[in-house]
Structure 1
Amino acid sequence: MCNEDFHTGSCAASNNFRMQTLRNLLILSSLCHFISGYSVKHRVQDLMSRYPLIDGHNDLPLKLRILHNNGLNHIDLHNLSKVATDITRLQTGHVQAQMFSVYVMCGAQNKDAVRLTLEQIDVVRRMCTEYHEFELVTSAHALRIAEMRHKIACLISIEGGHSIDSSLPALRMFYQLGVRSMALTHTCNTPWAESSSQLHDLYQRQHNSLTHFGKAVVAEMNRLGMIVDLSHTSWDTAQAVLHHSRAPVIFSHSSSYALCNHSRNVPDWLLHELKKNQGLIMVNLYSKFISCSGEASISDVADHFDHIKKVIGAGSIGIGGDYEGVASFPRGLEDVSKYPALIQELLQRNWTEQELADVLRRNFLRVFEEVERVRDELSSQQPSEVHIPLEEVQNPCRLVLRPPDFIPAFKVVSSSAPHRPQALVIAAIVLLLCSPIMIG
């Protein structure tokens, strides 16, 4: 302490020096904090400008049907309410390519699933050709060209094998319309593959997770150059496909079972099988699949990326947000404009820019190009003519073409006939089964 009688001047100078030094340190600290914060955000913007995101799953077409009955003429896709996706927010989020899901509810299986799927393909094709910011693409090369043209590339994906009504010709026609990916199941089994869900009890079977016809579907998708999507399939079906497919496959919107034990997520042993296949898991952002509860944070999402990276490496990871398909998203990731916040979190966890470039787009491009390489390798093969046995389809609405002599004639039954009530009941059941009502 300074002596007030003899050293007042020296004491004041010393105190002034200390105060100035403290102010300088505080300013320097604030400046460093500002520069550090700005630096990370700047790195994210720069990185995502050079490697804009390819998002593996978005259900905007479903919301367009639910909210607007697919009436594109009466809405503006630049600015949509009640949804998490529109053109403005896709651009803000640096989403350069979007796999748009063509989804129809499982209640349409064995009824009008094919028609409904065609209508959803129509709405995707319309929105991606009527808005100049979008560009419909059907190849990896076209996707790259769209990026050079600063367009948001649209890829069409069918979500649920029930959309093809167990028909390889229908699968081929969907390919002709631009479909480049198909999930083998949704929340219901198909006659030839098992779902991860127990919501529906259709087509239950034991020890036959991918039937002979199911393998024919996978093989035909390989021949066409259509990406096989295993999100929503059971683990046994996924394993069977990974052993059967000649091309890499994807989980378009699934997360890590080790961190959240939901059946829609992928266990570590199956991740290792995916690695052998050189396939891709595109991490889902649905809170329930991230934290197994209704709430989650960006940190929780990053934990899934960290875990999967530890198990199979960053070269097998992508992003499949599942926006518009589920109810809740982590805090800070409420819509598609928020993707930079996720990349910032991963940068702060010491992910390298090269790893993140892979996650953002290069891994998906690698898989897509390899699927096309296998297609070219199989180009000499004829289209498959495998048909599913009728007893496996179990669909009373499926028309069986027979010569007229084999079609039983309908008999007029009098009102007093004893079997008339049973006939009416049978007729009513058939009408109910074949009705176009969709039950999710």
Structure 2
Amino acid sequence: MRGLPLDQGTQKLAPPQPLARLRPDRVLAVLLLIGLASFASPGPLETAQDLVSSVVRAVKPLPKDPHARALALMDQAPVIDGHIDLPILARWYYANDLEAFDLREETRGQVDLPRLRKGKVGGFFHSVFVPCPEDVGFPVDSDSNFTSPSFRVRDTLEQIDTARLIIGKYSPDLEFTPTASAWRRAIKRGKVGGMLGVEGGHQLGASLSTLRAYHALGVRYVTLTHTCHSALADSCGSSEAPLSTRWDGLSTFGRAFVREANRLGVAIDVSHTHPKTASDVLSLSAAPPIFSHSNARGVHNVVRNVPDAILRRIGSMDPARRGKFNLSEDGERGEGWGADTGEADKVVPAGDAIVMLNFSPGFVSEYPGGEGRRADVQAMADHADYIGRLAGREHVGIGSDFDGIEAVPEGLEDVSKYPNLIAELIQRGWSDNEIRGLTSGNILRILDKVEAVAHAQRHLLPSYEVFEGRKDLVKHDKPPGQ
């Protein structure tokens, strides 16, 4: 109560002055500060403290030096990385024994608490990944019915358990944040927030019940495929072994999956997918899809990166960018996927999407066998600039793939080095708001919209769709044994 005006005769709080009684110059100043605060804030203003912080941000000058400015902006909007494979490190090196390593010290990977703090990280998606069945000796599902027993669901549950145990063990620093608003609150308290992402449709066992169980355990996005096709959709394969389509994009069951994920509030991740799969999702999903860790084919032509036509389609959601595109002016010179089918002009019902930059050198600038430019900060920034030019800078984020990659770009060796990329983009002319969007504002906006769709669909019943290849789950007219 200190510092508030008092009526000296009654010692009661004096009523606040209406704006009409204030001097016009003071009214203008207050309105200007509120306007600046709203403009400067990367997310919704939830408390009076938020307003005060935003006013200070609006009037306090930022350093001019690019690296110092990067750090100041990242204090305001810390990095939320769309794809970190910390649970993989725990599984591969330590058989999920969390007592065998300590995140409070430097790990043998690219992620630990000291480096997260140095890199101005406000959170990340813990990728819960297990390999495609054929990669570990099970039958090749792309030639079968995608129901061969492979223990992939069991192994995914182990990885979900590991991710949640990591967050719990280091709870003074880490926090599970099941919603975008919870993530914002955690960042304000100085915590490193986190959601879970399942990196492959093969990890569902061709079951929507599995999707619902994963969501209940904290999964907030599912990647439709990894390097293998799944019961849901077509994969692009890998640079060494690109795949032809099997389903021509989404399967019938995959379409049911997209609708159920929308209902639950699980984002659809189309990294690793064939472009036709990504196109189908952009056309079908009511909630914005994500590329959790992908780059641009127009900069580096490998199958894992996003074609120009898809990037232009994302950009066409902005009326200022909408129109017939001359793809021959882009990196693929009009010869990439979707250039001859009008892909770039197709509608995106969700009205939003995000492409999050992957730091794996093979997706940045290098080719197998040592060919190509050495991946570095500048090459990574080239992808950010390119995606920003075609899709819009409001549709760019960071999805490093740290702890899931062995090689790294020069200057981006671990999570402590994010400021190097931000400083490079500042030097290239990215505005303060564009930087705050890249680091975390854009992905939080997407999550808000995914949650809003789920809220709007809360009246819908769960889907009981059964994958066409399942022979073990059919309806019967007679009791068992008759």
Matched, 1:69 2:95: yes
Matched, 1:47 2:87: no
* Partners of 2:73 and 2:231 in 1: CA distance: 45
* Partners of 1:215 and 1:302 in 2: CA distance: 35
Which residue does 1:173 correspond to in 2? 213
Q: Could you say which structure has the larger radius of gyration? A: 1
* Partners of 2:80 and 2:177 in 1: CA distance: 13
Which residue does 2:114 correspond to in 1? 88
Matched, 1:113 2:192: no
Which residue does 2:124 correspond to in 1? 98
Matched, 1:264 2:304: yes
Shift of 1:273: 2.7
* Partners of 1:320 and 1:377 in 2: CA distance: 28
Which letter maps to 2:282? L
CA shift in 2, pair 1:176/1:113, >3 Å: same
Shift of 1:45: 1.3
Residue aligned with 2:110, SS: coil
* Partners of 2:252 and 2:383 in 1: CA distance: 35
Which letter maps to 2:297? Y
Contact kept in structure 2, 1:242 and 1:273, CA below 8 Å? no
Which of 390, 398, 404 is matched with 1:325 structurally? 404
* Partners of 2:295 and 2:248 in 1: CA distance: 25
Which of 355, 377, 388 is matched with 1:281 structurally? 355
Matched, 1:298 2:372: no
Which letter maps to 1:61? P
Shift of 1:186: 0.5
Matched, 1:148 2:156: no
Shift of 1:274: 3.0
CA shift in 2, pair 1:38/1:246, >3 Å: closer
Shift of 1:399: 7.6
Taking structure 1 as the reference length, the TM-score comes to: 0.79
Shift of 1:329: 1.3
Contact kept in structure 2, 1:160 and 1:183, CA below 8 Å? yes
Matched, 1:352 2:431: yes
* Partners of 2:116 and 2:210 in 1: CA distance: 32
Which letter maps to 2:448? E
Contact kept in structure 1, 2:200 and 2:222, CA below 8 Å? yes
* Partners of 2:260 and 2:400 in 1: CA distance: 28
Contact kept in structure 1, 2:201 and 2:231, CA below 8 Å? no
CA shift in 2, pair 1:205/1:351, >3 Å: closer
CA shift in 2, pair 1:404/1:37, >3 Å: closer
Which letter maps to 2:396? I
CA shift in 2, pair 1:389/1:146, >3 Å: same
Percent sequence identity over aligned pairs: 39
Which residue does 1:389 correspond to in 2? 468
* Partners of 1:376 and 1:125 in 2: CA distance: 25
Matched, 1:222 2:254: no
* Partners of 1:38 and 1:315 in 2: CA distance: 23
CA shift in 2, pair 1:265/1:139, >3 Å: same
Aligned length, in residue pairs: 366
* Partners of 2:239 and 2:383 in 1: CA distance: 26
Contact kept in structure 2, 1:262 and 1:292, CA below 8 Å? no
RMSD: 2.3
Deviations for 1:378-407, whole angstroms, at most 9, x for unmatched residues? 1110001111123xx58xxx687975547x
CA shift in 2, pair 1:347/1:236, >3 Å: same
Deviations for 1:180-205, whole angstroms, at most 9, x for unmatched residues? 1110000110123111106999x976
Higher share of residues assigned helix: 1
CA shift in 2, pair 1:216/1:128, >3 Å: same
Matched, 1:334 2:374: no
Deviations for 1:187-234, whole angstroms, at most 9, x for unmatched residues? 110123111106999x97656321111000000000000111000010
Shift of 1:133: 0.3
Matched, 1:162 2:202: yes
* Partners of 1:183 and 1:317 in 2: CA distance: 18
Which residue does 2:278 correspond to in 1? 238
Deviations for 1:273-316, whole angstroms, at most 9, x for unmatched residues? 33434100001111111103353111111111111111121101
* 5+ residue gaps, structure 2: 1-61, 142-147, 318-350
Shift of 1:327: 2.2
Which letter maps to 2:104? H
Taking structure 2 as the reference length, the TM-score comes to: 0.72
Which letter maps to 1:173? A
Matched, 1:255 2:295: yes
Which residue does 1:412 correspond to in 2? none
Which of 454, 461, 464 is matched with 1:375 structurally? 454
* Partners of 1:54 and 1:77 in 2: CA distance: 18
* Partners of 2:240 and 2:363 in 1: CA distance: 20
CA shift in 2, pair 1:378/1:353, >3 Å: same
Contact kept in structure 2, 1:189 and 1:200, CA below 8 Å? no
* 5+ residue gaps, structure 1: 1-35, 407-440
